[in-house]
Amino acid sequence: MHNRDTLYINGKWVSPSGRNRIDVINASTEEVMGRIPEGDENDANAAVAAARAAFDAWSTTAPATRGEYLRKIQEGLKARSEELARTIAGEVGMPLKLSAQIQVGSPIANFGYYAKLAGEFQWEETTGNSRVVREPVGVVACITPWNYPLHQITAKVAAAMAAGCTVVLKPSEVAPLNAFILAEIIDAAGVPPGVFNLVSGIGPVVGEALVRHPDVDMVSFTGSTRAGKRISEVASATVKRVALELGGKSASVILDDADLPTAVKGTINACFLNSGQTCSAHTRMLVPDSRYEEAAKIAVEIAKNFTIGDPFGGAAKLGPLISEAQRERVRGYIRKGIAEGAELLCGGPDAPADLPKGYYVQPTVFGRVKPDSTIAQEEIFGPVLSIITYRDEDEAVKIANGTPYGLAGGVWAGSDERAQQVARRLRTGQVDINGGSFNLFAPFGGYKHSGHGREMGPYGMEEFLEYKSMQFQPNSAGLSGKAPY
């Protein structure tokens, strides 16, 4: 049992303002695996005050020195990687082997990357008679989700700290235990008090208090589009910067000359990862009408090989969903797909017969899905694939672009060149070409209702920086007076 009764504010573990606690449920056993404090507005205010007081010193600390702290945090994550992998496998349900590789491996890489980037980044440049400098935006509120909890935390926190910002983290109350381990690691690394603060609680209380706080300069949020709209609305009152990474309904476009078995397998892998609880999951598979029967047969064969079960058992490819509420939500979408006339090729809304405990959902494939149907338009966040047919390339692009979202996608073709031509027509933040693998250091973010702003790589750190231009008299301080155009 992981019981936490304190919050991390101003370099100390302190008692929360209130006495309420939040149970953390193991996704595969449905049992309580830990408890955390339910913070309130007073706790959020204390954390913001600490971050504000620490900002001047941290923002003027040499970037290379900030990088040294990040390196120490990276080493701390490595030392506790097995503990973190088991914790997240319990919280989220991702099989342990994958949890170690993805849920913990990427945060370790992130801290190492930003440790290096802090010392190498070009913080200023000259253009004409101006010195242009990059400076940290200020106090940042990081509000993070439950599906890749530590990864999403580090994508924000490591980049913000490298940039010279101070941080208040509000992790998801559904999968928060990993954040407390990170706070212990940050404390052990000797990071100055107030640079990093952790306040657990629920979004409508702690999250809203941070978003509307006048001393918070920026909010970085990952979660639902509905919550992102609310954050934008509340943040507008204080004209603070907002970065949003929201929902997705990504299309995998399989062109007529693609290697069909490879493309279908790659699409299903991208759809079912983390039991479909991935914002960039390729949940719509677009195939030429002439190849539908073949594609559907392959899809069913592959989907049936996705064994579901205990994330700690070693054999399962899919674990449970995060919670009972999420399981019922996904089952509701499956029933909706059946009601709207899509072909149920495999899976369905019923619980797996051999898994009476745990929030499990059968891997499900629908065929002949209409592009404007509910399951083709709304984010399901479960292991559910919709196969949609098209007549020609133009119609495929129209269907792919025909949702409110634009986070990710894929194109499969006989050549990378042809795939890239179609990819350039997709209104989405990233596109995998013939199964191209995820790049941890390329910009991640979306178009349209998938949000704005980017995470990962130098692009992620730049989100937390402001521009300042200082104009000099021509030829003063070695600066040219020539116009830059």
pLDDT of residue 485: 41
> How far is 254 from 240, CA to CA, in rounded Å?
41
pTM of the model: 0.96
Cα separation, 225 vs 169, whole angstroms: 20
Contact 55, 168 (CB under 8 A): no
- Containing 134, the helix (H) or strand (E) segment is strand 130-136
Give the position of tokens 């205990």: 310
pLDDT of residue 477: 55
The closest of 114, 47, 198 to 464, measured between CA atoms, is 114
CA atoms of 369 and 284, how far apart (whole Å)? 9
Active-site annotation holder among 41, 173, 208, 245: 245
**If we measure between CA atoms, which residue out of 57, 24, 80, 59 comes closest to residue 135?**
59
Which residue out of 142, 165, 279, 346 is catalytically annotated?
279
Tokens of 357: 């405990």
Beta-bridged to residue 196, according to DSSP, are 167
Rounded to the nearest 10 degrees, the angle between the axes of helix 81-92 and helix 149-163 is 130
Which structure tokens are listed for 256? 């007529």
Tokens 């941070």 correspond to what residue? Answer: 210
CA–CA gap between residue 181 and residue 86 (Å, rounded):
12
Contact 285, 264 (CB under 8 A): yes
209: which 2 tokens?
């208090």
Tell me, what's the pLDDT at 136?
98
CA distance 280 to 167: 26
SS3 248: coil
Per the CB < 8 A criterion, the answer to whether 265 and 302 are in contact is yes
What is the enclosing helix (H) or strand (E) of 157? Answer: helix 149-163
* Contact assessment for residue 426 and residue 402, using Cβ atoms and an 8 Å cutoff: no
Nearest to 380 by CA among 339, 432, 451, 328: 328
Q: How far is CA 425 from CA 86, 140, 393, in A?
A: 41, 35, 11
Residue 44 CA to residue 202 CA, distance in Å, equals 11
Q: What is the pLDDT of residue 484?
A: 41
Q: Residue 139 pairs with which residues in a beta bridge?
A: 166
CB atoms within 10 A of CB 295: 23
Residue-by-residue pLDDT tens, the chain, 485 positions: 789 999 999 999 999 999 999 999 999 999 999 999 999 999 999 999 999 999 999 999 999 999 999 999 999 999 999 999 999 999 999 999 999 999 999 999 999 999 999 999 999 999 999 999 999 999 999 999 999 999 999 999 999 999 999 999 999 999 999 999 999 999 999 999 999 999 999 999 999 999 999 999 999 999 999 999 999 999 999 999 999 999 999 999 999 999 999 999 999 999 999 999 999 999 999 999 999 999 999 999 999 999 999 999 888 999 999 999 999 999 999 999 999 999 999 999 999 988 989 999 999 999 999 999 999 999 999 999 999 999 999 999 999 999 999 999 999 999 999 999 999 999 999 999 999 999 999 999 999 999 999 999 999 999 999 999 999 998 765 565 454 44
Helix (H, G, I), strand (E, B) or coil at 209: helix
Residue 271 annotated among the catalytic residues of the structure: no
> Is 245 in the active site?
yes
CB–CB of 79/55 below 8 Å?
A: no
Distance CA 95, CA 129 (A): 57
Q: Closest by alpha carbon to 78, among 48, 53, 110, 54? A: 110
Question: How far is Cα 182 from Cα 144, in angstroms, rounded to an integer?
Answer: 14
Encoded tokens for 186:
């940050």
pLDDT given at position 1: 76
Dihedrals φ, ψ of 298, to 5°? -65, -40
Residues 137, 218 contacting (CB under 8 angstroms): yes
Domains of the chain with bracketed CATH: 2-246+450-469 (3.40.605.10), 250-433 (3.40.309.10)
- The distance of Cα 296 from the centroid of its chain, to the nearest Å, equals 30
Are 29 and 96 in contact by the 8 Å Cβ rule? The answer is: no
- 309-338: burial string, b at 16+ Cβ within 10 Å, e else: bbbeeeebbbbbbbbeebbeebbebbebbb
